[in-house]
Amino acid sequence: MKKLILILLLPYLLIAATEKDSISNIEYKSDEIIVIDDDFNAVQKNMNTVLNSVDDLLKYNNSIDLITRANFASEAIVRGYDQNRLSVTIDGMRMFSACIDKMDPITSYIEVENLKASEVSADKSDMSHGISVGGSLNFITNKPTINNDFRIVLDNQISSASEYYNSKGRVDYSSGNFATLISYSVKNAGNFTAGNSTLIGNSSFSKENVKLNTLYNSSTNITHGLEYIYDHSADVGYPALIMDTRSTEMNMLSYQLGMKNINEVILSWDTRVYYNRISHLMDDYNRSDEEIMNRSVMPGMYMPMDGTTETMGFLTKNKLLVGDDILKFTLEVFRMNAFSDMKMEMLETGREMYLINLGDIETYSGGIYTGYFTQLNESLLLKLNGRIDYITRKVNSEFARATAESYWGNNYSNNNLQLNTSANLQLEISESQNANITLSRVERAPTHLESFGFYIYNIADNSIYIGNPDLNKEKSYSVNLGYDFHSDNFNLKLNLYNDYIVDYIAGLVDDGVEVVETFAQSFKLFQNIGNANITGMEASIDYNINSSFGLLGKLKYQYSQSLTYNEALPFTPPLSGILNFSYTTNSYTGVIGVEFAAEQNNISKYINIEDSTPGFVILNWRNNYKINDTFKLRFGIDNIFDKYYFTHFSINNLPSLGRNLYLGLVVGM
């Protein structure tokens, strides 16, 4: 019935946003961009002045939720799709988590001071940064600019809930045709306090991040850019998991050549080469002997684990003007190696054991993207996307091959060709109303972990997962309908969407595995478990009541179902939203914000063991006060009433921060 209703509504709900300029002047972007240092809209811009973290930024995107495993490194999911089903990039560059327990999602390597925007294509209308069944998420970092002279911004903040201290800063300098930007961040936090003054042990962390960019204009239309990011974290406690991060280190280096207005046809051509390496070390040495001896998985032993990923790639993009139409081309090639292993060290008697979880899995991928944009008439704009990716993987480690021979035989490699298409039609109903519809067919190859992961423990369902090199590709057929009303002081956006997923990949219990005392868990083999359906809505309003007062509201709901098991898919978002009231003068911005979520009883019980989660409402108060041109003061209280709560995406129902008072001083020179 839901599918029938959506089909009947298609002619009436053709969806949003075409510009009034000629097509040659339009800059096409993903369906939602949240910008930090540019004017997104008046109310949103005011909200940006009180952001404290990348998580704060992502919350303003109505398609995103955050999986939490600690007071650190939340994982962004889009419309219920986790990072396995997303293409996540930084400035278009590929990066892959090193931890098999997802302790280091890509969002953990970005800081708010070096981030310009998050670019989300939840409707799959943009495939230029790669694509998956859940869409794409690209983080756009700040870049230096010519003629920015010299400027230093220092920002120090303390907060109460975890004795948290954050020192961060940014230096901009330019001279002639050269410019540079340096940013840094240092964070330290103790154990945090949840609502009702509940202390959560083993939740401290420390983290450092440095980003360096240089820019050189060799001519009026040619630029050279060099970018380096270093990120390090240590002693990160994960109270929701059985392991803690001892250290994580990431190095990323890239060179970019940019050309603009090459001739009347080639409007721009950007080429980038890049390299990144992530190393992640986790262990349980700081856990008590009692916990180690009595836990459900592998009791009586320490399990230090090491993981690394190494990625190098080439990316070239160009934009062409062909008559009155726009053509975009992207060519992408990358290679990725992933390795992870673990030791099993007995607390009492017994010899040490060794296991490889990811046996030096080597991935090669090449992709070609083409986008075509044409103005059909004064009110209709058509955007067509096509992308082809070829992915090949193999297991290089002979030890890993021998260990997994009983599961995989001699099948230690696989190849996948991905064919992805989408069409977006945008209709200008009037000067204040737009509508659009996006239809897409997207497929994804199984991840390296789904294909060749070995003995991967998932604490959420107390199961050990084993990869399957014979998995079929997962495919989605999607429709996204949107409506946008905008005036001088009011904006309304509405999205309705439906995804039909074929050959959904999940772990199912493998009865062929003989469970021994050391592994008193279910063993699950990644399999294609049939088809599924996801339906949802997203709505937002942005209202400038007058020159001082503003209102920002967002609301979303999703319903999902596995057609094979007649239950919800994992990580289905409940009805949730935010409502923010802002007051702004020339020197002050204050925001009273409400975050809320309904209880979630539409849960997965077989595919993944979830429990129903209660609803919550919390109240926040955030402020930004400009003392003078040099000093700014940021202060506020999150979770004012000290509510004890957790979201539906909190692993093991890890509670969120309780009442948190923060104070920050920003110095700009």
- How many Cα atoms sit within 13 Å of 411 on the Cβ side? 13
Cβ-defined contacts of 219-223 (< 8 Å, 24+): 221/259, 221/260, 221/261, 221/262, 222/257, 222/258, 222/259, 223/256, 223/257, 223/258, 223/259
Q: pLDDT at position 116, please?
A: 86
Asked whether residue 37 carries a pLDDT value surpassing 90, the answer given is no
What residues pair up with 339 in beta bridges, in sequence order?
308
- How many Cα atoms sit within 13 Å of 231 on the Cβ side? 20
Mean pLDDT of 291-300: 89
Four-point Cα dihedral 441, 447, 451, 453, nearest 10: -160
Asked if residues 77 and 55 have their Cβ atoms less than 8 Å apart, the reply is no
Mean pLDDT of 103-108: 92
Q: pLDDT at position 11, please?
A: 32
- What pLDDT, in 10s, does the model give residues 216-271? 999 989 999 999 999 999 999 999 999 999 999 999 999 999 999 999 999 999 99
Q: Closest Cα to residue 654, out of 240, 197, 55?
A: 240
Out of 23-37, 54-68, 524-538, pick the least confident. 23-37
Q: pLDDT at position 407, please?
A: 87
Residue at token pair 């820019």 = 215
CA dist 444 and 448 (Å) reads 12
Mean pLDDT, the chain, whole residue set: 90
Q: Which percentage of the chain shows pLDDT scores above 90? A: 80
Q: pLDDT at position 309, please?
A: 98
Which three-class secondary structure state does DSSP give residue 291?
helix
* Longest alpha-carbon distance in the chain: 79
The separation between CA 132 and the C-alpha centre of its own chain, rounded to angstroms, equals 13
Asked whether residue 12 carries a pLDDT value surpassing 50, the answer given is no
Tell which wins on pLDDT, 192 or 34: 192
- How many Cα atoms sit within 13 Å of 19 on the Cβ side? 11
Q: pLDDT at position 592, please?
A: 96
CA dist 559 and 536 (Å) reads 6
Q: pLDDT at position 114, please?
A: 86
Residue 350 CB neighbours (<10 A): 12
CA dist 353 and 342 (Å) reads 9
Q: pLDDT at position 519, please?
A: 53
CA dist 355 and 647 (Å) reads 34
pLDDT band at 18 (very low <50, low <70, confident <90, very high): very low
- What pLDDT, in 10s, does the model give residues 426-448? 999 999 999 999 999 999 999 99
Phi and psi of 607, rounded to 5°? -60, -45
What lies within 8 Å, CB to CB, of 442 at 6+ separation is: 124, 131, 132, 133, 420, 422, 475, 476, 478
Q: Which runs of consecutive H residues, i.e. helices, occur in 265-421?
A: 289-294, 398-403, 405-408
Q: pLDDT at position 43, please?
A: 46
What lies within 8 Å, CB to CB, of 227 at 6+ separation is: 91, 141, 211, 212, 213, 252, 253, 254, 255, 256
The two tokens of residue 479 are: 């429709």
Query: ∠ CA(314), CA(320), CA(323), 5° rounding?
Result: 165
What string of DSSP letters covers 432-477? TEEEEEEEEEEEEPPPHHHHH-EEEEETTTTEEEE--TTPPPEEEE
Asked if residues 240 and 69 have their Cβ atoms less than 8 Å apart, the reply is yes
Amino acid at 453: G
Asked whether residue 118 carries a pLDDT value surpassing 50, the answer given is yes
Domains of the chain (ranges; CATH) run: 2-668 (2.40.170.20)
Q: pLDDT at position 160, please?
A: 96
Mean pLDDT of 583-611: 94
Out of 420-429, 469-478, 605-614, pick the least confident. 605-614
Which three-class secondary structure state does DSSP give residue 360?
strand
Asked if residues 359 and 454 have their Cβ atoms less than 8 Å apart, the reply is yes
Q: pLDDT at position 24, please?
A: 36
- What pLDDT, in 10s, does the model give residues 261-292? 999 999 999 999 999 999 999 999 999 999 99
CA dist 51 and 590 (Å) reads 12
The two tokens of residue 223 are: 């630029």
Asked whether residue 502 carries a pLDDT value surpassing 50, the answer given is yes
Asked whether residue 476 carries a pLDDT value surpassing 90, the answer given is yes
Q: What is the phi-psi region of residue 530: left when phi exceeds 0, alpha when psi lies from -120 to 50, beta otherwise? A: left
Q: Running DSSP on this structure, what letter comes out for residue 124?
A: S
Q: Which percentage of the chain shows pLDDT scores above 70? A: 91
Q: pLDDT at position 113, please?
A: 84
Asked whether residue 451 carries a pLDDT value surpassing 90, the answer given is yes
Asked whether residue 122 carries a pLDDT value surpassing 60, the answer given is yes
Spatial strand order of the sheet with 93-94 comes to 32-35, 115-121, 136-141, 87-90, 93-94
- What pLDDT, in 10s, does the model give residues 521-577? 678 999 999 999 999 999 999 999 999 999 999 999 999 999 999 999 999 999 999
pLDDT band at 296 (very low <50, low <70, confident <90, very high): confident
Asked if residues 370 and 352 have their Cβ atoms less than 8 Å apart, the reply is no
Q: pLDDT at position 297, please?
A: 86
- What pLDDT, in 10s, does the model give residues 128-180? 999 999 999 999 999 999 887 899 999 999 999 999 999 999 999 999 999 99
The two tokens of residue 100 are: 């098999």
